[in-house]
Amino acid sequence: MLGLVVVGAMVLATVFARPITIQEIGVTVQPFSVAPYPPGDSLLFDTSTNVEDYAPPSLDPFHPMGTDGTARDVFSRVLYGGRFSISIGFIVVFATATIGVVYGSISGYYGGWVDEIMMRFLDVIFAFPGLVLALVIVAMLGKGYFQLLLAFTVFGWAGYARLIRGEILSIKQNEYVLAARALGARDRSVIFRHIVPNAIAPVIVQASLSVGTVVIGVAALGFLGLGFETTASEWGTMLNAEQGTLSPGPGGDIYWWVTVFPGLAIFLFVMSMNLIGDGINDALDAQEDTTVTQGGGG
């Protein structure tokens, strides 16, 4: 429940952080602006305030998380940065779960050599650590939002496929599957109307637990300097940009706020997602241990 509140608050904060405008037609869909400053602009050029770079957290002037090395407001950036991490997390999980369910259902339902070939292909995917595969794709396609989506989606569905295949193998033994076929249902409708709804519970649990894992994966790539352009306000990228501040020279100041707050955001979101996942697991009673890792799992 706590997890739900935190995730809900973070999603709302990130949506309302800055106005959303559809640029092609110039219509503002979401006019609110919780974040006090534009996340990408250095405040050195802002005449309304005279804040310096690496200003410590203060409420007046309103910089509750201080400013970073180019005098950008960290609070605004953390709020806005959720847009990348959280949306990638949810989109990737939705896409991978969908692909995985379709793939695994077909494999499990038809069985035989179809199953054999499809599962051996999965084994190939499983032979690589997910984050390495994501790295390869980002390295090939370059940085950016859609490249990251792709990087986590292309191989991330394997876990779901294997999970649901196992479920389907047992569900398809039920007589109602035979009954549906005896009533003249097509394979497609037998699989997706009669079998999958009965097999989906562990996938839902797995998916909710995976959102956090994907967010960590995105942040990890960002920290490695492979997620977004270095100026982007994505959480992991922010950590990467400011990692130099963690080891200042002799007598230097530790600007802890530029790294602690993005890190805290990642931690808070991922932990809350895991709490939600556990809650769903208990609710669905899906006795599933969560050893199947999402591709890109940190």
Contact status: 194 vs another protein (CB under 8 A): yes
Separation of first and last alpha carbons in the chain: 25
Is the Cβ of residue 12 or residue 178 nearer to another protein in the bound state? 178
| Closest distance of CB 117 from another protein, Å | 15
Closer residue to another protein in complex, CB, 116/229: 116
Give per-residue burial for 1-25: e unless 16+ CB within 10 Å, then b: eebeebbeebbebbbbbbeeeeeee
Nearest to 277 by CA among 3, 6, 84: 3
Place of tokens 């602006």: 33
Q: How far is the CB of 106 from another protein (least distance, A)?
A: 15
CA separation for the pair 257, 98 (Å, rounded):
39
Cα separation, 278 vs 275, in Å, equals 5
Nearer to another protein, 56 or 111 (CB): 111
Number of residues that bind another protein (CB under 8 A): 18
Cβ atoms of residues 64 and 96 within 8 Å: no
Nearer to another protein, 111 or 248 (CB): 111
Instruction: Check residue 124 for interaction with another protein (CB under 8 A).
Output: no
Q: Return the residue of 36, 181, 260, 267 that touches another protein, per CB under 8 A.
A: 181
- Contacting range for another protein; rule: CB under 8 A; set: 118-126, 173-181, 263-271, 274-282: 173-181
**Residue 22 CB contacts under 8 Å (≥ 6 apart), including other chains:** 29
Among 5, 9, 139, 178, interactor with another protein by CB under 8 A: 178
Residue placing its CB nearer to another protein in the complex, 22 or 182: 182
Q: Is 182 in the site for another protein (CB under 8 A)?
A: yes
What are the structure tokens assigned to 265, written together?
């955001």
Q: Where does this chain bind another protein (CB under 8 A)?
A: 111-112, 174-176, 178-186, 193-194, 197-198
